[in-house]
Amino acid sequence: MAVNTKIIKRRIRSVSNTKKITKAMEMVAAAKMRKAVEAALNTRTYAQMARDLLVKLSQSAKMHLPLLAVRPVKKLLVVLITSNRGLCGSFNSMIIKKTAQELADPKNISRQRIQHSHALEPSGDIACDVIGIGKKGSDFAKKMGYRLVASYSQFSDTPNLDDVLPIASLIIDAYTKKQYDKVVVAYTDYKSPILQVAKLRQVLPISEYDLEKMFLELGRGSASSEESHPADTNIQKSEHAPVEYLFEPDKENVLRTILPRLVETQIYQAVLESAASEHSARMLAMRNASDAAGDMIDELTLTFNKARQAGITQEIAEIASGAAASSS
């Protein structure tokens, strides 16, 4: 019996050590999450304003710029945003599963939607390449045999725009050179601390349709935390009456400045959303682990007490029976 209590005691100690660690990780994740969520929300304003401007500009005339060119899809580039480290619940498996699903049957994702009803069907076989942000995504791409064009895993917990710029310029370059016909970013949309959704979004070619969809969802996700910006009232006004703008120096120059920004912002936004999601997922996973450890400790303590009591009872019984035997 004495051995038994010893083993249980050791287990209790080890579980409570684990609990301490998970508790600490939960706190760290919570602190990082707050920062990441704030950064994600801050970026939404700029992204929204940039998109408004683009929509307004495209209303007035059709433009032929490389970043707006829609081609039938032959080569697809996926930017897969995951985390570097594990222990964050289903965060990585969710986004990887979603991506794997879409890439297994790339017909759907390769359709070029021009307008709400029209679509440009992909031509022939579709080749997929991957850019991995975060170790887990790169590992997945290697394992599945997709060509890994680039892999970035040195991001901090709250990425700067400067971190994202090389990726954006790589994508823009490749698209302009017609190496790819469509660029999609796979990220995890941060809805709330307990709800994150894995998503794939089109980045290039820049299409009004997809931007609209993206921002509609952004607006819904953050409706509680975001007040109406001047940009919001702006869209409503302009949608009623398209304004004729004066362009300085000219329209093409303006678009050349703003289009790459839009790509950068979209990727930056996706990275930030993913960071916010990752930390929330980790926090939740760690909280569950701490709770489970707590339950386990309670259970083990009960077993330990029972074993101890049983040991004492048995000892008394032995003494009593020994005394009874010697006195008789």
Partner 1 sequence: MKFCIATPEKVIYEDDVLSVSLPTMSGEITILPHHIPLVSVIAPGELRLNDREGNHMFAVWGGCVEVAGDTVTILADNAERAQEIDIERAEEARKRAEKEMRETKNRQDVDFAKLQAIIDREMNRIRVGKKYRK
Residues that bind partner 1 (CB under 8 A): 39, 42-43, 45-47, 49-50, 53, 56-57, 160-161, 229-231, 233-234, 237-238, 243-249, 253-254, 257-258, 261, 264-265, 268
Q: Is 221 exposed, middle or buried (0-12, 13-18, 19+ CB in 10 A)?
A: buried
Q: Which residues of 25-38 are buried (b: 16+ CB within 10 A; e: fewer)?
A: bbeebbebbeebbe
Given the complex with partner 1, which of 257 and 328 has the nearer CB atom?
257
**Nearer to partner 1 by C-beta: 149 or 281?**
149
Shortest CB 149 distance to partner 1, Å: 18
User: Which residues does residue 17 pair with via DSSP β-bridges, in sequence order?
Assistant: none
Q: To the nearest whole angstrom, how small is the minimum distance from the Cβ of residue 229 to partner 1?
A: 7
Nearer to partner 1, 96 or 272 (CB): 272
Residue closer to partner 1 by CB (options 51, 282) is 51
DSSP state, residue 66: G
| H-only helix segments in 105-222 | 135-144, 161-176, 208-221
Cβ atoms of residues 150 and 167 within 8 Å: yes
Of 46 and 215, CB closest to partner 1: 46
Smallest distance, Å, CB 46 to partner 1?
4
Q: How far apart are CA 124 and CA 321, in angstroms?
A: 90
Q: Which is nearer to partner 1, 217 or 226 (CB)?
A: 226
* CA-wise closest residue to 116 among 207, 216, 215, 47: 207
Q: How far apart are CA 168 and CA 77, in angstroms?
A: 12
Q: Which of 16, 25, 20 has the alpha carbon at shortest distance from 297?
A: 16
Q: How many CA atoms lie within 13 A of 5 on its CB side?
A: 12
Closer CB to partner 1, 160 or 288, in the complex: 160
Of 91, 87, 112, residue with least CA distance to 24: 87
Smallest distance from partner 1 to CB 167, Å: 14
Q: How far is the CB of 45 from partner 1 (least distance, A)?
A: 5
Could you tell me if 254 and 73 are in contact, meaning their C-beta atoms sit under 8 angstroms apart?
Answer: no
Geometric angle at alpha carbon 125, from 124 and 130, rounded to 5° = 140
Q: Which lies closer to partner 1 via its Cβ, residue 155 or residue 268?
A: 268
We find the least distance from the C-beta atom of residue 226 to partner 1, in angstroms, to be: 11
Question: Closer CB to partner 1, residue 234 or residue 303?
Answer: 234
Least separation in angstroms between residue 265's CB and partner 1 is: 5
Instruction: Give the C-alpha separation, 291 to 26, whole Å.
Output: 11
Report the alpha-carbon distance of residue 273 to residue 195 in Å, rounded. Answer: 12
In the numeric block, which tokens belong to residue 134? 């975060």
Smallest gap from Cβ 23 to partner 1, in A, equals 32
- Smallest separation (angstroms) from partner 1 to the CB of 208: 17
